[in-house]
């Protein structure tokens, strides 16, 4: 699995898919999912293909994850923080029509 070669010795606790993990502080959510050994970040809503981040700069929208209950967040643009709950998205997340109104 990808290694954290230069990251901070400090760690934060987050959950990924409900499992508590400890990851270096300051890294992105996408990096955290990779660092703990997951082989993909989401599956596609159309055919269930496994995908992981392609661009790491907010362009490809492949690293969409649910963060603290909010779906479709670009994991490469968000840094991990203590207690954060990350869920990998399988198929299309259900979005309430009342959300954001």
Q: In the complex, which residues of this chain contact other proteins (CB under 8 A)?
A: 1-8, 24, 26-28, 30-32, 34-35, 39-41, 44, 46-47, 49-62, 64, 70, 72, 76-79, 99-101
Left, alpha or beta for 40 (phi > 0: left; psi -120 to 50: alpha)? Answer: beta
Nearer to other proteins, 82 or 99 (CB): 99
Residue 19 CB, shortest distance to other proteins, in Å, is: 19
User: What is the C-alpha separation between 4 and 47, in angstroms, rounded?
Assistant: 32
Give me the torsion for CA of 44, 50, 55, 57, rounded to 10°: 60
Residue 88 CB, shortest distance to other proteins, in Å, is: 12
């Amino acid at each position: 699995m990808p290694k954290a070669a230069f990251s901070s010795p400090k760690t934060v606790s987050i959950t990924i898919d409900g499992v508590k993990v400890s990851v270096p502080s300051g890294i992105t959510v996408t990096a955290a999912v990779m660092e703990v050994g997951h082989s993909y970040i989401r599956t596609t809503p159309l055919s269930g293909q496994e995908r992981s981040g392609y661009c790491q700069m907010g362009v490809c929208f492949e690293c969409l994850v649910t963060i603290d209950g909010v779906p479709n967040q670009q994991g490469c643009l968000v840094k991990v923080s203590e207690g954060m709950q990350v869920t990998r998205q399988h198929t299309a997340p259900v979005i309430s029509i009342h959300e954001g109104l």
